[in-house]
Amino acid sequence: MNKYIQALEKYATAKKDMSYCKCGKPDQVSGFTCKQHCKHGKAEGNECPPATKDVDLNTKNRNATIKNHVYGPLNVDVPGDYWKKIADKWDTTEEAAKKSLCGNCVAFDISPKMDKCMPGEVSDESGRLGYCWMHHFKCHSARTCDTWAKGGPIKTDEVSDNWSKKSGIIKE
């Protein structure tokens, strides 16, 4: 394993000391800084998830999903043996695995509200960027992970708001 991958894994799994956080329950929402964590309780219904605005947090959550939930493939144009490996994990065919994508996952948010949270252009020739409510990072529709669940994507602001409230990012 090369040093870059080792460094990414170390960063993704690092535990933060949140004992200084005075907002109530430090680090309940993994990966957030104290400032971001404390902001959750005061968030308005129209705010964006912190990972859409904080590249370090987004990267940390994405890397944790790569390590813990086989998020990939890294390069959708050159997937290597990714689809075989995830098909084996799911005990299915590669063909079936290739149809179980972030783009049709129940937690993949591409609502108009979420589009406004994205940093810029959200689509390319292989798919589009959306937000994963399961793992709290910006993900690509042509990828998948082992927590994929049928029923998506999220296309309306109302459904997006419900996921936001359920996630604990927005509190009523």
Our measurement of the distance from residue 134's CA atom to the centroid of its chain's CA atoms, rounded to an integer in Å, reads 6
Strands (DSSP E) found in 95-150? 108-109, 123-124, 127-132, 137-140
Q: What percent of the chain has pLDDT over 90?
A: 54
pLDDT beyond 50 at 166: yes
Mean pLDDT on 96-122? 91
| 143 compared with 126, residue with greater pLDDT | 143
Q: Residue 10 phi/psi, 5° resolution? A: -65, -45
Contact 77, 162 (CB under 8 A): no
Mean pLDDT on 108-120? 91
Q: Which residues contact residue 83 at a Cβ distance below 8 angstroms, ignoring those fewer than 6 apart?
A: 73, 94, 97, 98
Q: Which H or E run contains 14?
A: none
pLDDT beyond 60 at 161: yes
Query: Structural domain boundaries of the chain?
Result: 3-14+48-167
Q: Is 137 in a helix, a strand, or coil? A: strand
pLDDT confidence of residue 43: 37
Q: How confident is the model at residue 27 (pLDDT cuts 50, 70, 90)?
A: very low
pLDDT confidence of residue 118: 87
Q: Which amino acid is at 99?
A: K
pLDDT confidence of residue 76: 87
